[in-house]
A and B are shown apart, each in its own frame.
Chain A
């Protein structure tokens, strides 16, 4: 299988704080990779490094067979990105924003307009196409971000909590979109804290813990390596977290007026 992304011994420091402690990662065409880990494990840092939002790293990042250090710009044409906390120029309308983004990726205005209109309609938000984004609901905004990340037909997608705010029906549509994209040879990195979803859609799961990769394999493999039955349990086990019951009990006791 064609290798899309190769990361070798990636390290990154903020001051004297080590965020990434040597990551090795390979992703092939058509894979949906569940990229999980506790808060602060370095997930978004990895993605930011790949996208060139941050620099000064150790090791090597190769995309589509080329190191991103060599060609700093053109590789971005083949990447789509949905950040977790997304800034949007929200005083633009959906049409204006999407065509703008499309043009930045090198699409013609008409092409970008047609595409974004159809995609908005298919996603059930066609009526908001010409309204200001600031008036969108959370779900509509999220759909806009998803469309903005796909409008240029990228080969590699980074999605960070993409279903945040979507209703159940839209989530089903979105999952189907992911399956279809993967079937068409796109590679998807899917970051989320909702383990059930990650478990179901991922063809491979990578767990990042404390700046290192703690697990890498299909869900079946992870289950075989660990004694637990769900991804959530495996997550707890690999990150060494067992106190949830105890903390939960204490929490409620404080809520009811007790002492720690």
Chain B
């Protein structure tokens, strides 16, 4: 094990910790072991295309993406004097990015229950253990914050001067404290009222929502630069009080512009006081937190299985054999309950709901669209962009080792398993999304497009089976997620090409009267034929 530079830096502050009554040497040992372990895991943002031998310093290496994000901050922090507006936006971005990273990568640190049984049985004070936990998070936040803000800060030092530079540095520190404390308090609140499984689910949903926001935010950001006018004048309103980034923007007006109006002063005070109060509350709540953390270990309440007659009847139509139905239910449950699968697929599911609209508005910008005759509803095809990656992910699972069970089952082959899981994906994930999209589209374009929508639906089935045929790993839930590699990533991109062909085909056919209806019927039967063909060849 190598020593860490960060820890040697920390050694300089040894006296401070000792003064606070913390056993510094013990804390250093714990931090050392934690940092060693972190070296060996890869953050969520990157675990898709990392090679196995390249995992050392995975975290530090992953920081370049934040440096890239940081470049966006340069125009906001480096130039212009409209501080209230610019810095509000800048801080909003910083808070968002840091909080995302904190929740997705450090929830495990905050919520590590192993600490309790491993560390608390040793002769170490609770204070030292908590200090180690806090410092552990703090070290990473420092890396992250530095990566994100170093370049814009240096630029601002030259363009805005030393006062701006120091002020920003201080505020970023305060903001980090605020973020850690507020995240922890959030967890404490959730743990207080719900059990551990619920909390894990909630963190999972937060992660999903944030990933989705990141995807959409990126799209919006690119477009927003056309609208944003940096000379925009923003003035204070009382309701701005709830816009936290604005608090942090106020001190610039106060100190650099000498604006001493009441609201500016109030915001400045808030920016300083609230982080300090929140960290104080957090420290006060730590014992409660530790106690409730035990909930993570407790078993959750069992749910009663509901049996819906209609559902089981419909299922017998969709899945003909008994085994296929069993696998359908199994796959549906896995997709619904496996957090990692959700984290990888649900954000893109949400994204594929948005993307047809993004394309719709991008293509029609500036022109008046006649929705009664327009063909732009074909943008709904873009919702199928989720299918290749979802079909790929279907082959993977965090609990991939449990797949030994397939081998012990008396099965002739795995076609039922494959069919069942593909159908479960189509019915449980894609179709609901498509239905909602269809309703919205029918509302916009009129019910004349229903035959087209039906044709699109059966196309999605066909496309799914095509994606499945192209995948190398065909057994559902049998490979770990870190085996999803670059080659497969390329395959997903390539699989988007046939989508374009399908759109073109539909466009041409829709020119003919009743073309779409006939197209739908023909596709429907081709579908049945192909599904049969694909799954027959192996029997």
Q: Which residues of A contact B (CB under 8 A)?
A: 51-53, 72-77, 79, 81, 83, 86-89, 91-92, 96, 100-101, 103-106
Q: Are B37 and A89 in contact (CB under 8 A)?
A: yes
Q: Which of A52, A81, A96, A104 has most chain B Cβ within 10 Å?
A: A104
Q: Are B33 and A73 in contact (CB under 8 A)?
A: no
Q: Which residues of B contact A87 (CB under 8 A)?
A: 113-114, 117-118
Q: Are B114 and A79 in contact (CB under 8 A)?
A: no
Q: Are B122 and A104 in contact (CB under 8 A)?
A: yes
Contact partner of B120 (CB less than 8 A), chosen from A52, A77, A89, A100, is A52
Q: Are A105 and B36 in contact (CB under 8 A)?
A: no
Would you mind naming 18 contact pairs between A and B with Cβ atoms under 8 Å apart?
A: A52-B120, A52-B121, A53-B121, A73-B123, A74-B123, A81-B121, A87-B113, A88-B114, A88-B118, A91-B40, A91-B41, A100-B29, A101-B122, A103-B29, A104-B119, A104-B123, A105-B123, A106-B123
Q: Mark B100-120, 1 if CB is under 8 A from A, else 0.
A: 000000000000011011111
- CA of A86 to CA of B121 in the docked complex: distance in angstroms? 12
Chain A contact residues: over half helix, strand or loop, or mixed?
A: loop
Q: Which 6 A-B pairs have the closest CB atoms?
A: A87-B114, A76-B123, A104-B122, A77-B123, A100-B33, A91-B40
Q: Are A92 and B37 in contact (CB under 8 A)?
A: yes
Q: Which of B29, B116, B117, B123 has most chain A Cβ within 10 Å?
A: B123
Contact partner of B33 (CB less than 8 A), chosen from A79, A92, A106, is A92
Is the C-beta of B1 less than 8 angstroms from some C-beta in chain A? yes
- CA of A77 to CA of B125 in the docked complex: distance in angstroms? 12
Q: Which residues of A contact B124 (CB under 8 A)?
A: 73, 104
Q: Which residues of A contact B119 (CB under 8 A)?
A: 104
- CA of A73 to CA of B123 in the docked complex: distance in angstroms? 5
Is the C-beta of B157 less than 8 angstroms from some C-beta in chain A? no
- CA of A92 to CA of B124 in the docked complex: distance in angstroms? 21
Q: Which of B122, B124, B125 has most chain A Cβ within 10 Å?
A: B122
Q: Are B114 and A51 in contact (CB under 8 A)?
A: no
Q: Are A83 and B117 in contact (CB under 8 A)?
A: yes
- CA of A86 to CA of B1 in the docked complex: distance in angstroms? 24
Give the distance to chain A from B509, nearest Cβ to Cβ, in Å.
Answer: 55
Q: Are B40 and A96 in contact (CB under 8 A)?
A: no
Q: A89-B114, A92-B33, A96-B33 are in contact. Are A105 and B122 (CB under 8 A)?
A: yes
Q: Which residues of B contact A (CB under 8 A)?
A: 1, 26, 29-30, 33, 36-37, 40-41, 113-114, 116-125
Give the distance to chain A from B529, nearest Cβ to Cβ, in Å.
Answer: 41
Give the distance to chain A from B305, nearest Cβ to Cβ, in Å.
Answer: 19
CB closest residue in chain A, given B32: A100
Q: Which residues of B contact A106 (CB under 8 A)?
A: 123
Q: Are A89 and B123 in contact (CB under 8 A)?
A: no
Give the distance to chain A from B267, nearest Cβ to Cβ, in Å.
Answer: 42
Q: Are B121 and A76 in contact (CB under 8 A)?
A: yes
CB closest residue in chain B, given A53: B120
Sample of 8 further A-B pairs with CB below 8 A, known A81-B121, A91-B40: A52-B121, A73-B123, A73-B125, A86-B117, A89-B33, A89-B37, A91-B41, A104-B119
- CA of A76 to CA of B122 in the docked complex: distance in angstroms? 6
Q: Which residues of A contact B36 (CB under 8 A)?
A: 92, 96
Q: Are B113 and A104 in contact (CB under 8 A)?
A: no
Give the distance to chain B from A93, nearest Cβ to Cβ, in Å.
Answer: 9
- CA of A74 to CA of B123 in the docked complex: distance in angstroms? 5
Contact partner of B1 (CB less than 8 A), chosen from A72, A96, A104, is A96
Q: Which residues of A contact B30 (CB under 8 A)?
A: 104
- CA of A158 to CA of B120 in the docked complex: distance in angstroms? 15
Q: Which residues of A contact B118 (CB under 8 A)?
A: 87-89, 101
Q: Which residues of A contact B121 (CB under 8 A)?
A: 51-53, 76, 79, 81
- CA of A101 to CA of B40 in the docked complex: distance in angstroms? 19
Q: Which of B26, B33, B121 has most chain A Cβ within 10 Å?
A: B121
Give the distance to chain A from B383, nearest Cβ to Cβ, in Å.
Answer: 39
Q: Which residues of B contact A72 (CB under 8 A)?
A: 125
Q: Which residues of B contact A53 (CB under 8 A)?
A: 116-117, 120-121
- CA of A101 to CA of B119 in the docked complex: distance in angstroms? 9
